Amino acid sequence: MSSIEVLHRYTAAESPTGDPRALAALAEILEEDAGRAGFGTERESHPTGDHLIWTLPARETAGAPILLLTHYDTVWPVGTLAGMPWSVEGDVIRGPGVYDTKAGIVALLAAAGRIAGVPHPEVRVIVVADEEIGSPTAGSLVRAEAGRARAVLGLEPPHPGGDLKTGRRGSTRARIEVAGIEAHAALDPDAGVNAIDELIDQLVRFRSAVAGRPVLLNTGTIAGGGRTNVVAGAAHADLGLRFIDPADEQAVLGALKDLSTVRPRAHVSTSLLSHRPTWRPDAEGAELLSRIRTIAAGIGQQIDGRPADGAADTNTTGALGRPTVDGLAPAGGGAHARTEWVSSEGITKRIALLAALLTDLAA
């Protein structure tokens, strides 16, 4: 089966984050293909979708494993294919999830099949089920595997043109929750405490704590209350935060944790829905990128790297100081958009590059 046919098969198995039945159906397909490529397979089970853990045993090579990070959840709900169908026109392949990041899984498994019989280190792969919402259940698994890896390769999409990613903004999804006291809004308003009013004041306070820092803050959702004649008893807001500098990240998240009530009888609490620490370029990552450049040149490919704005599981490994480079999925564009596409030629090139990396990075 060609790489394009394999990608078609994966795309047809729609796999939105948080849909355990859909994810399980694709997981079975992926595990079958991983087994054929020589991997041993296991799972870490979660109610919202299992993380897949694959191991390709070392062949004639000692030392720590190479860790690859990818994911099989997408942002697209089941049924998207009806209005965003699979298509192949020349070099352009379209469909939900082809670029982010099912083509990366295709390239990895094809590369693993290519190195059968060739000396290579142990290869560990984590295929995350909830990456698109910040990997809230995968963080401990990623940290544990990173601690024993010689290098971490991320199979997220690359920069436009195919360059790799050597750092990422920190990304945190946070929630502010307010508990007020319900009361009749006309007959006894002073008996109540309006949770929505308190939440608005908390958002203003938090914005002032962020102001002046190079931090992106987006209030993504607000919900609360129920009727205009009832003082709102509960409200919450979900926030998206992006950081460039770990010091700003620490200060802003500290301010979030330290929020206190404006109204004496209200109660305010905060929580992190997901957290990916800031990954800044470092010497270990620069050395890994240099080795990748050299290996790529040896097979006739030119490649470079630079930091990226988006977040992924490589935030976690890079922030830990593990040698990390991301963006090794095939080139394309339109991530999270209905224009999503991936390059057929890009898949072929990434298969060749990944096969070379899996054999030569241990040299």
**DSSP structure string for 158-185:** -STTS-EEEEE-EEEEEEEEEE-B--BT
Q: Buried b vs exposed e over 119-129: b needs ≥16 C-beta within 10 Å?
A: ebbbbbbbbbb
- Residue-by-residue pLDDT tens, the chain, 363 positions: 999 999 999 999 999 999 999 999 999 999 999 999 999 999 999 999 999 999 999 999 999 999 999 999 999 999 999 999 999 999 999 999 999 999 999 999 999 999 999 999 999 999 999 999 999 999 999 999 999 999 999 999 999 999 999 999 999 999 999 999 999 999 999 999 999 999 999 999 999 999 999 999 999 999 999 999 999 999 999 999 999 999 999 999 999 999 999 999 999 999 999 999 999 999 999 999 999 999 999 999 999 999 999 999 999 999 999 999 999 999 999 999 999 999 999 999 999 999 999 999 987
Domain count for the chain, please give it: 2
Residue 170 pairs with which residues in a beta bridge? Answer: 243
Q: Are residues 15 and 140 in the same domain?
A: yes
CA distances, 302 to each of 33, 103, 153, 293, 299 (Å)? 30, 20, 18, 7, 9
Task: Write 137-144 long-range contacts (CB < 8 A, 24+).
Answer: 137/46, 137/48, 137/51, 138/51, 138/313, 139/275, 139/316, 141/44, 141/51, 141/53, 142/69, 142/313, 142/316, 142/317, 143/316, 143/317, 143/320
Q: Are residues 106 and 198 in the same domain?
A: no
Crossing angle (nearest 10°) for helices 283-298 and 344-360 = 110
Residue 236 pairs with which residues in a beta bridge? Answer: 177, 223
pLDDT for residue 315: 98
Q: Where are the beta strands (DSSP E) in 51-185?
A: 51-56, 66-71, 87-89, 92-94, 123-128, 151-154, 164-168, 170-179
pLDDT for residue 362: 82
Q: Are residues 68 and 149 in the same domain?
A: yes
Helix (H, G, I), strand (E, B) or coil at 89: strand
Residue 20's CATH number:
3.40.630.10
Q: Are residues 62 and 181 in the same domain?
A: no
DSSP conformational letter for 205: H
Spatial CB neighbours of 89, under 8 Å, sequence gap ≥ 6: none
DSSP conformational letter for 271: E
Q: Which residue segment(s) compose the domain that 307 sits in?
A: 3-168+279-360
Pair of tokens at residue 356? 């070379």
Burial of 281 (0-12, 13-18, 19+ CB in 10 A): middle
pLDDT for residue 210: 98
Does this model's pTM top 0.75? yes
Spatial distance between the Cα atoms of 313 and 136, rounded to a whole number of angstroms: 10
Q: Are residues 311 and 270 in the same domain?
A: no
Q: Are residues 177 and 323 in the same domain?
A: no
CA distances, 277 to each of 143, 217, 252, 316 (Å)? 12, 15, 13, 6
**Is the distance from CB of 36 to CB of 113 less than 8 angstroms?**
yes
Q: Are residues 75 and 198 in the same domain?
A: no
Spatial CB neighbours of 334, under 8 Å, sequence gap ≥ 6: 99, 340, 341
Q: Are residues 107 and 148 in the same domain?
A: yes
pLDDT for residue 363: 74
Crossing angle (nearest 10°) for helices 20-36 and 103-114 = 20
Q: Are residues 245 and 335 in the same domain?
A: no
Q: Are residues 46 and 97 in the same domain?
A: yes
Burial of 310 (0-12, 13-18, 19+ CB in 10 A): middle
Q: Where are the beta strands (DSSP E) in 190-348?
A: 216-224, 234-243, 267-276, 305-308, 324-325, 332-333, 341-343
Torsion of CA 27, 314, 334, 112, to 10 degrees: -50
Peptide bond into 17 cis (omega under 30): no
Pair of tokens at residue 311? 């977040």
Q: Are residues 103 and 194 in the same domain?
A: no
Q: Are residues 92 and 196 in the same domain?
A: no
Helix (H, G, I), strand (E, B) or coil at 103: helix
Among 216, 247, 276, where does a domain finish?
276
